[in-house]
Amino acid sequence: MSLKEITNMDLKYILVGGKGGVGKTSVASALGIALAELGKRVLIISTDPAHSVSDSFDMDFSSGEITKVKGVVGDLFALEINPSAAGEEISKAIGQPMDSDQFSQFSAIPGLGELQKGLGEDLKSIPPPGMDEALSFAKILEYAEDEVYDTVILDTAPTGHTLRLLNIPEFLDSFLGRMLKMKTFLSNAMTMMKSLFGGSQEKDRTVETLEAMKEKVLVARDKLMDEEKTQFIKVLIPTMMSVFETERLAEELDQHLISHRFTVVNQINPANDICSYCMNRHKEHLKNIEYIKSAFPDTIITEIEALDREIRGLDMLQVFKEKLL
């Protein structure tokens, strides 16, 4: 069995993750090609500011727009999101949050102190920490909900960021919930002030926008937890450092109820009788692969050798794809 099994599933989201430099982008790109060749309409999304999907295909997808991947049989599209640009866009959509000076203008309003306490950290720094990932996640939702694509492949950033990404549905749910509370409170207060002092009564749409975002986040969370719709591919290399990190990742995925039935062990040193360094590495890798099999007994493990060239451009991605499937 190999990663070929994943092409037989009717998945909506495929997340590819693992330690830095193990081959996540190569796997995401090659799998994208494979699925497109099978007749699926596929979108690869990356939030890596280093534009690695562009580098992998040796093409330019950095425009921030969905771009068709040329030279691939079928419908493969790529999108590289710049997290800070996405952040600005969404901040604009939810309106300019209040800073504490603006807040103090309302200090006479009963209950405001409580509310401010409740909002706590969120108000001290807007956007709060983690907002980058949160906003790129929201951006991902926008495309993932789109029925235009059969499968959306997300090439994630190295493990630490992926773990933050997994916490985003909860984070956004609670953040948006608190923003909603604040917005509702303030718009009630504003209405009261306006009726006292006169002024225009135009309707503020922010509450509706926030509610819609919250709903979207909850729908996406359900999809992420549905193993028939979402699979997370763990990519690692056969070193114990990479194995330990992947074990922690697997634990976190389990906690978040995200199914990860596939494991790719990449960059295995091939045997080489005339190079003692290569042979030692090879033996060490084989030993570690045995450990990997025991650590992830219920997953489909695909083993891939270190190729003699970098995986860059369509020809090399085709070679890598054949090995992967």
**CB-based contacts of 300, cutoff 8 Å, min separation 6:** 1, 2, 3, 5, 261, 262, 263
The stretch near ligand ATP (CB under 6 A) out of 24-32, 62-70, 122-130, 165-173 is 24-32
Question: CB 151 → ligand ATP: shortest distance, Å?
Answer: 19
| Closer to Mg ion by Cβ: residue 162 or 299 | 162
Tell whether residue 52 is a contact of Mg ion (CB under 5 A).
Answer: yes
Q: What is the DSSP string of 50-108?
A: T-HHHHHHTS--TTSS-EE-TTSSSEEEEEE--HHHHHHHHHHHH-PPP-HHHHHTTTT
| Closer to Mg ion by Cβ: residue 115 or 314 | 314
Count of CA atoms in the C-beta half-sphere (13 A) of 64: 9
3-state secondary structure of 160: helix
Tell whether residue 21 is a contact of ligand ATP (CB under 6 A).
Answer: yes
| Closer to ligand ATP by Cβ: residue 127 or 158 | 158
| Closer to ligand ATP by Cβ: residue 144 or 304 | 304
Question: CB 306 → ligand ATP: shortest distance, Å?
Answer: 4
Question: CB 154 → ligand ATP: shortest distance, Å?
Answer: 12
Return the residue of 12, 14, 15, 24 that touches ligand ATP, per CB under 6 A.
24
Return the residue of 246, 266, 299, 302 that touches ligand ATP, per CB under 6 A.
266
Question: CB 76 → ligand ATP: shortest distance, Å?
Answer: 17
48 noted as active-site residue: yes
Strands 67-68 and 75-80 turn out to be antiparallel
Both structure tokens of 194:
């306006």
Number of residues counted as binding ligand ATP (CB under 6 A):
18
The stretch near ligand ATP (CB under 6 A) out of 16-24, 103-111, 128-136, 276-284 is 16-24
Instruction: Considering only residues 292 through 321, tell me which ones interact with ligand ATP, judged by CB under 6 A.
Output: 304, 306-307, 310-312
Q: Give the number of other Cβ atoms within 10 Å of residue 88's Cβ.
A: 12
Q: Exposed, middle or buried: residue 251 (CB in 10 Å: 0-12, 13-18, 19+)?
A: exposed
Which DSSP letter does residue 17 get?
E
Query: Quick one: which H or E segment has residue 172?
Result: helix 159-197
Secondary structure E strands in 125-166: 151-155
Give the catalytic positions in this structure. 48
Residues forming the site for ligand ATP (CB under 6 A): 20-26, 48, 52, 158, 266-267, 304, 306-307, 310-312
